[in-house]
Amino acid sequence: MISLSILNTRRTLDATIVIIALVIISADVLAATLRHHSVIRDDVVRLGDIFTDAGKYKDRVVLQSPAPGRKLVLNVQWLYRAARTYHVDWKPLSKLDQVVLERSTVLISTDEIIAVIEDGIRRRFGKDEKFEIELDNQVLQIRLPGEAIPSVQIQRIVLDQRTRRFSALLVGGDGKSRGSRMTATGRFHRIVQIPVLVRRMRNYEVIERSDVRLINVRADRIDLNSLHNLEDLVGMSPLRTLTADRAIKRDDIRAPVLVNKGAMITMVFRTDRMVLTAQGRALQDGSKGDVIRILNAKTHKTIDGTVLNSSTATVKPLDRVALR
């Protein structure tokens, strides 16, 4: 009987030990743990953003959230004090324990900002105008909270046409969050279209439509005499060899050469009553309408003639005697 009593006592003791162990294990399971990396989607940080199973104070505001795109690191000392203050069942496992808080972010890129500024300037000067925007801060960006509307607009813009500088107050989202308002400064440059050659061309060639294309350039980077219309080039010839993709000035081209130096042409003097003609040799190249020097083949006198076509030049009354 004594042995049976001892056996029952041992069984009861073993059962008690098992129950105690289960209670301890359950307590460990229910203990709070760290959220080592927590993305915050609000302007404030709550206790539940830092600890899991934070208890009845999980919704208590404990910090201001970082600015959009920024991070905040909570070290083990801060975490331990917070756990004790708000009765969170947590103890550090190491002095290296920490929590990284990161604000959710919507990024307004530099390209988006430039596009908005360009549109604002174009509204001032005309919708058909084009501009190149040169920001003083070439990596300018706006970081908005993750829950914000991903948009940016100009609230105010100041333009100086003489210096071509601008100052624009930008507002991202609803403009209420931190960092959503900023001033962008820089320069604006008007963009114009000009015709350029698509290939290298020599002075004896005639420019055709397929030899020309339009490109966009800054107005301050081309000469005032540069051609702006494609029609000004087509049908003309280079005065000298021209390279591709470069602005062309009026004195770079001329009408195609109809009479080459040394060519034999007919000189004509015409009135209502008579027509005098003579053969001569061109002493210089000439396009239609050009006045060139011509040597009379018979008298060897030099005459000024206006090129009419590839074989004819007209002579003024003062030079008609030289035809004889």
Q: Each residue of 122-162: pLDDT tens digit?
A: 999 887 889 999 999 999 999 998 888 888 999 999 999 99
One domain for residues 70 and 112: no
In angstroms, the first-to-last Cα distance of the chain is: 164
Q: Is residue 150 one of the residues assigned to a domain?
A: yes
For residue 312, what are the domain limits? 257-323
One domain for residues 40 and 98: yes
Phi, psi of 75 (to 5 degrees): -85, 175
Q: Which of these, 260, 308, 250, lies nearest to 281 by C-alpha position?
A: 260
Question: Are the beta carbons of 32 and 17 closer than 8 angstroms?
Answer: no
Amino acid in the structure at residue 19: I
Phi, psi of 47 (to 5 degrees): -60, -35
One domain for residues 113 and 182: yes
| pTM, two decimal places | 0.62
Q: Is residue 10 one of the residues assigned to a domain?
A: no
One domain for residues 147 and 98: no
Question: Are the beta carbons of 286 and 292 closer than 8 angstroms?
Answer: yes
Concatenated DSSP letters of 276-297: EEEEEEESS-EETT-EEEEEET
Pairing outcome for strands 152-160 and 165-172: antiparallel
Q: Is residue 154 one of the residues assigned to a domain?
A: yes
Domain count, the chain: 4
One domain for residues 211 and 270: no
d(CA 256, CA 233): 11
Q: Is residue 13 one of the residues assigned to a domain?
A: no
Q: Is residue 24 one of the residues assigned to a domain?
A: no
Q: Is residue 269 one of the residues assigned to a domain?
A: yes
One domain for residues 152 and 217: no
Secondary structure class of 195 (helix, strand, coil) = strand
One domain for residues 242 and 301: no
Question: Are the beta carbons of 104 and 145 closer than 8 angstroms?
Answer: yes
- Last residue in a domain, options 253, 269, 292: 253
Count of all residues that appear for the chain in the document = 324
Half-sphere exposure for 97 (CA within 13 Å, toward CB): 16
Q: At 243, which CATH number?
A: 3.90.1210.10
Check the CA dihedral 273-279-282-287 and report its sign. Answer: positive
Which residues share a beta bridge with 192?
217
Q: Under the phi-then-psi rule, with left for phi > 0, alpha for psi from -120 to 50, and beta for the rest, what region is 24?
A: alpha
One domain for residues 97 and 113: no
Q: Is residue 130 one of the residues assigned to a domain?
A: no
Q: Tens-of-pLDDT digits for all 324 residues of the chain?
A: 444 454 455 555 444 443 444 334 444 444 889 999 999 988 899 999 999 999 999 999 999 999 888 899 999 999 999 999 999 999 999 999 999 999 989 899 999 999 999 999 999 988 788 999 999 999 999 999 888 888 899 999 999 999 999 999 999 887 777 778 899 999 999 999 999 999 999 988 999 999 999 999 999 999 889 999 999 999 999 999 999 999 999 999 998 989 999 999 999 998 888 889 999 999 999 988 999 999 999 999 999 999 999 899 999 876 655 555
One domain for residues 48 and 85: yes
One domain for residues 292 and 261: yes
One domain for residues 71 and 88: yes
Q: Is residue 294 one of the residues assigned to a domain?
A: yes
- Last residue in a domain, options 234, 253, 272: 253
One domain for residues 71 and 89: yes
Half-sphere exposure for 36 (CA within 13 Å, toward CB): 3
DSSP letter (8 states) at residue 131: E
Q: At 292, which CATH number?
A: 2.30.30.760
